[in-house]
Amino acid sequence: MPTTEVVLFAEEDGICPLLEWMDTLPPKAQDKCIVKIERLAEEGHELRRPEADFLRDKIYELRAALRGIQYRMLYFFHTSKAVISHGLIKTGNRVPSR
């Protein structure tokens, strides 16, 4: 299977929400997130739980965990590319709709 091109969403002013979020994470958490992004590039649409999951409205999540903290990176597919838009720390049972 060919690799999937992974791109990072950026605002019109060039700010990339995912990179800004990742800069706030501990180095080991950053490393885990990078591994998940690499797996997305390798597997594309075929990537499944526990590494990724479909949320709703064509939005998916990459899933990483470290020391009980659940890190999530939100992405969607546009043409043949995977676009990663934002990252968050999951609290509670669900990723918030917002």
pLDDT digits (tens, 9 = 90+) for 20-58: 999 999 999 999 999 999 999 999 999 999 999 999 999
56 within domain boundaries: yes
Reply yes or no on whether the pLDDT at 1 is more than 60: no
Residue 56's contacts (CB-CB under 8 Å, 6 or more residues apart) are 97
* pLDDT value of residue 94: 65
**95 lies in a domain?**
no
Q: Which domain holds residue 44?
A: 5-90
Domain count, the chain: 1
* Sign of the torsion formed by the C-alpha atoms of 71, 36, 5 and 8: positive
Residue 72 tokens read as 């999530």
pTM of the model: 0.89
Give the E-state strand segments of 1-98 in sequence order.
Answer: 5-8, 52-56, 59-66, 69-78, 81-90
Report if residue 19 sits inside a domain. yes
